[in-house]
Structure 1
Amino acid sequence: MAKETTKKNNEGSGKHCVVVGCKNTSKKLRKWKLAACELHASETHEYCVCLQPYKMHRFPNCSNANSAANRKQWVRNINRKDFRPSKYSTVCSVHFEEGKPTSAHPYPTVAMGYIPYKQLSRGRPPPRRRVSTATKAVTVQEKAGGVANMSPHGVERTSTCVQTAGLETKDASVQWYDARVADHTYAHVNPITKSKAKGTQTVKAPEVSAVNLQESDMKFYTGLSVQSFWALVNALVVTLTTTPKFQLPVPDQLLLVLMRLRIALMIWDLGVRFKVSRSTVCDIISFWVPRLATFMRENVIFWPSRDTLARIRPKCFESCHPKATCIIDCTEIFVQRPKNLRKRAQTYSNYKHHNTYKALYCIAPNVW
């Protein structure tokens, strides 16, 4: 019984993100690590080079005045009633602008589960409109009556002279109309205007688009010139057997993937930039990376023939290396240390004193 209880405790949900509405936990992160990687099917996420979807960060301790102030600001930004963080309370990296607490952005401020309070200015009084009525004419009639021709059988009244006084005018241009009198006027909506308003609603345009990027921006985001980028887009579209069913256009999809590969932007950041959800960003990357790798291997990366190498060999090689056909080099990429002992031994580098992936490649002499 004690063993079963211990096993259940080990398989608990773990640490929760304390932000309102956030469902990220350390248990989900463990499941993600044990799941098979879609891009590297032969390995799980724990041993592949894919970035984690999020990380859990503990609250700052109270070791000094600066840390105590940061801790109070964290609690203030969490904005939960009677919340007192413990030593196990954590906030996931999704809620930080740079994915983690930094000196520039030390507090969680992104997607906090509530609308930040803004102090409202004092509202202006309701407008008063002038009543544009014409000058009113008031006619005062004075009636005069008399009694005449009285007979013993009754009284017969006859209308005597009716005097009409002069017209009295009152200027109404200084009278004010109070808008509060017309109650519930907001309920009267023109149905034609309402239907037109629905028809004019459109999808928000992304902040970054391949159509609007300048040469310098394209170089920064993708490492390619504008002409090379569009040539790559046109070449990839021809090779597609299935059309990607995403909201973004194909050029923006490829731009998203290249931004992820070149400057390692986070999934959340890419979703905000292109106005799509995080799941859509993951689907776009999973769709394009294998096709991009196949296209590069079959159409871009090639090795010229020996005659071609001899023809394009630089003159500086003719005296010392007249028969050189390639330049061999090796590179290493740092990775996390695998838990599996065999893979840990296979990836360890005595040169770098770290676990790395090794790549051997050769370059044609004319590139030198």
Structure 2
Amino acid sequence: MPLTPSTKILGLTYDIRPMFKDHMQDITRQCTSRVNALRSEVSFNTADRVHFVRTSSRSSKYQLRSGLSRITVGTCSAGRTVPHNITDMHNPELKKRWMMAIKRQNFTPSKYSMVCKDHFTAEDYMPGGRRSEGRLRRLKKTAVPSQFSWTKKPSVAAVARKERALKRMCDSARSVDAEEVTGGASKMMKSEKQKCGSACSDEIPDVGAEEVIESEPAQVFSVPVSDSTDAVVPDAVKVTVHTYKKVYRVDDFKHNAESLHFHTGLENYEKFTFVLSTLGPAAYSLKYFYGPITSLQVPEQFLLVMMKLRQNKPNFELGELFGVSERDVYNIFVTWVRFMSLQWGEINLWPKKDIVQFYAPHDFGNKFPGTRVILDATEIPVRKPELPLAQQATFSNYKNRNTLKAVVGCTPGGMISYVSPAYGGAASDRSIIERSNIPQLCDKGDSIMADKGFEVQDLFAPYDVMVNIPTMFKKTNRLSANSVLKDRKIASKRVHVERVIGLGKTFKILTDPLNNAEAQLGSDIIFICYMLCNFRKCIVPSHA
């Protein structure tokens, strides 16, 4: 008969709940006393975690197991591990090896300290016993735990980080001159030969700098040093220095004007040195953005920047050509672009009125004598930004892509006299003129020439400056004969600024999309490219 909380036995009613309650209290009291006794036996740190594992489903006894495996490897699980007792070993030397492998500080194992199976390899177990066969797997007498977090193989990401670090170290070593390396290596090996004597020379008949060319233009110089007992050097030493062979040097272009013009846009070597001299002595004492540059001389750095502007070669290719790392190329380019923009920005490009009239073509001076500047807008492509607001600000409806926009002005003679800062492609021509100081630069009675998009007559009217633009269709779809003749005259002269802008676009950095880093220097790059047009041969003839 099953027992219920209230049961009749022999006609009497008994309440058995107090008996179960007393029994459970006795069991709990025994477990608590047992746990306290085990705690006093085990020595552990406050950072350790202790796990209580039930030894049997039908028993109220608990076994205390130290959180040793949990501390060493965070992936251990008490429900799936097979613990191995540390104190069961009778070999003190093996126990010492276990303790050294575990690397627990201030830890004294007791008979209840365990190490789970995740810290052992399959070779550490004796063949045979498997849990599925009713037998537990047993460790070999010489088994030592070896699978810990500090012994596991590094991840793919960790290996990649290490390779990038080694690459940066190699890049920094590339700046060392190859000749000095081979010379120093040969001297070192000669001294080692003398120290080793005849025995060393017999074992190694030809010890010296060994040149191994992996790929052009890269070169690797390896210097092996003997590790024989007769040698003075106790350990094997191998010095490997990675250097790049310099393909381009400034001196190579002294008598090759065609190649210099192709790479830099400057016609000859004399003009190249002249442009460099306009930057002043400050070019020889620059403070670079990302550390000093000692591997290239100042003329070679200027040549690198000019090749980047003219050909827009990748930084990696320029590093191969000039024997420097890709990081050094970026450091040189950013520093020089900012320096050239600030240095040339101090020059007043706005010429006086009499000088403009003196160098203006004859026909231009007869038809539009008061013209001070010819204005037009230009756009250069950029890569699509990530931020939606930046995408909206740089998207040009005219080009149907993300661009930077600037206003360029030239004199009737073809000299660049004004370059505005770069704005997003969504900016209008009028908004750029509103933010410029062109009305203040013009004198009273001057005139400017622009395209139809420059509706800026009201901006120049307070300064008594006339704006010559083609006639706009308003309420009529037909122009008068006089308007057509006037528009043809304006178009024939306004084309000069478009030709000058096309000359600036021969620098390919203005035609290829700028990346995010180069887009931040957009104003400087545009100004430098059009400033360099002033050093080139004028494309506007004197009779235009």
Please give the TM-score of this superposition, normalised by the length of structure 2. 0.31
Q: Which has the larger radius of gyration?
A: 2
Higher helix share: 2
Please give the TM-score of this superposition, normalised by the length of structure 1. 0.44
